[in-house]
Structure 1
Amino acid sequence: MSEPTMTIVDSFDGTPLAVHRMGEGRPVLMLHGLFSDANTNWIKYSHAERIAQAGFECIMPDLRAHGHSGKPHDPTFYPDDVLARDVAAVLNRLEIEAYDLVGFSLGARTAVRAVVSGLAPRRLVLSGMGLQGLAGWNERAAFFIDAIDRFDEIKRGDPAFFAAAFMKTMKVDRVAARALLQSVSDTEPHELSRITMPTLVLCGADDRDNGSPEELADALPDAQHVEISGTHMSSVTEAALGEEIAAFLD
């Protein structure tokens, strides 16, 4: 298996987005989680390699304000649903019409927003996500904004300690991240009827950070729930994550 390549494409507003690619075959667009990047979620633990070996081309953008993508500080670069608009822009710039769509955590929220906004992947994978995680974003965003605002004073034992530690590890641009957190839109339960394609809800057995994956699967027109080992953070390291995605897409 060849090493992943990286190209830069301009989004709808000119913001450069880094897109990592691996494999050949049917395109599968893979969206990572908050404060992470394509390498950490998909490449480092060989998920992309497993999916590519199943006959797919893994297309893995670093989301805006993450990884090698642009991190503008001007709040005007973070309109509502900006990440979903970036997804559509990547597909347009790469001239991809037939594809599957995969998201983990914030990537799953983004995938849902993209489909609700009109994208139509053949199959959809929502990982690290439950029903309650798709709405009520303001409360969750407030937790991370507080962690950003108190970044230098957070000590072990503080509820925000692990979030701050992960931001430090990932060298997160906190100004850009703070602006991005305020751009994420909620998905209300009635909007889920628009997600008609076969969907896999894939979650760690000990991951309820974003609510109930069982309830999310039940709320979608054509979905199944699969459980793997791990918490919200550790499930990303499990080989089963990539294996289950590959099996579902295949």
Structure 2
Amino acid sequence: MHATTQFLPSFDGAELAVHRLGPVEGGRPLLLLHGLFSSAEINWIKYGTAARLAEAGFACIMPDLRAHGQSAAPHDAAAYPPDVLVRDLVALVGGLGLTDYDLGGFSLGARTALGGVISGGLAPRRLVLGGMGLGGLRGWSGRLDFFLDVIDRFGTIGREDPAYMSQNFLRSTKVDRVAARLLLECLGRGAAVAAARDFAGVTMPTLLVCGTDDHDNGSAQDLASALPDGRYAPIPGNHMTSVTKPELAAAIAGFLRG
């Protein structure tokens, strides 16, 4: 089973790479968003998560976020307005003609998926938030500063530094650091940031799936409790390794079938 790729224009014409895996006819549409400095290939395809979900009957639709993977990575600050990733997500849902679908994301992808529901007016049947906790939403400025520092000190961060693993991940994924910095700067502004403090509009069943050793974004259990219809599913691993585990696909498929 191999993924196919197409390029679709976003709200401003920027081309976004969209990868698909799963039944062409009759599959349940599942839109999956990857994390920061990652890609659809790394988060969903490489370790078999998308293939397992496809075997379970889901038509996986996996865009590369702006400034990531094969999607556009402009070096113009004007290409990164507030809420740009949410606006990209809303444009993709509209462009793909999705009306009855499920939505999931990991880390930055989870923030974007949640922002799309809260401030973008999206209404998936069910929502999956991976690698995300309450602290990662309400303490976003600290995480933002951390990743900006990783970019600014790239290539000089030593093994003893807490930022070392993030530097190595950024190096391995070959993300455009200029574009990534512009994206991060815009993510500190906009309605999605403010909306992360009020979850009343997240009325659909929502799964918080998180590695038992993943503490990067605070407590997933606390976020599940803060949501109107949240439930928590622990899986093995930390923020880097949980996406490599078969339990991730099993938890997602079990929840979406419920």
Instruction: Tell me the CA shift for residue 223 of structure 1.
Output: 1.1
1:47-93, CA deviations, whole angstroms, 9 ceiling, x for partnerless residues? Answer: 11111111110000000000000000111111111111111111111
Q: Secondary structure at the match of 1:91?
A: helix
Aligned residue pairs total: 249
Change (3 A) 1:183 1:189: closer
Q: Which stretch of structure 1 is more off in the superposition, 155-164 or 230-239?
A: 155-164
Q: Secondary structure at the match of 1:112?
A: helix
Q: Secondary structure at the match of 2:115?
A: helix
Instruction: Tell me the CA shift for residue 97 of structure 1.
Output: 1.3
1:214-241, CA deviations, whole angstroms, 9 ceiling, x for partnerless residues? Answer: 1100000011101011111110111000
Correspondence for 2:210? 203
| Deviant stretches of 4+, over 3 Å | 187-190
Q: Secondary structure at the match of 1:164?
A: helix
Tell me which amino acid in the other structure corresponds to 1:131: L
Q: Secondary structure at the match of 2:237?
A: coil
Q: Secondary structure at the match of 1:224?
A: strand
Correspondence for 2:41? 39
Correspondence for 2:135? 132
Correspondence for 2:96? 94
Aligned counterparts of 2:160 and 2:197: Cα–Cα separation in 1: 39
Correspondence for 1:213? 220
The Cα RMSD (Å) is 1.1
1:116-146, CA deviations, whole angstroms, 9 ceiling, x for partnerless residues? Answer: 0210000000010001111232221111111
**After the TM superposition, which residues 59-208 of structure 1 pair with which residues of structure 2 at under 5 Å, given as runs?**
59-117=61-119, 118-184=121-187, 185-188=192-195, 190-208=197-215
Change (3 A) 1:8 1:188: closer
Aligned counterparts of 1:67 and 1:90: Cα–Cα separation in 2: 16
Tell me which amino acid in the other structure corresponds to 1:15: A
Instruction: Tell me the CA shift for residue 181 of structure 1.
Output: 0.7
Q: Is the 8 A contact 1:135 1:188 kept in 2?
A: no
TM-score (normalised: structure 2)? 0.94
Instruction: Tell me the CA shift for residue 152 of structure 1.
Output: 2.6
Q: Secondary structure at the match of 1:182?
A: helix
**After the TM superposition, which residues 11-26 of structure 1 pair with which residues of structure 2 at under 5 Å, given as runs?**
11-24=10-23, 25-26=27-28
Aligned counterparts of 1:189 and 1:86: Cα–Cα separation in 2: 18
TM-score (normalised: structure 1)? 0.97
Q: Could you tell me which runs of 5 or more consecutive residues in structure 1 were left unpaired when the two chains were aligned.
A: none
Seq. identity, %: 57
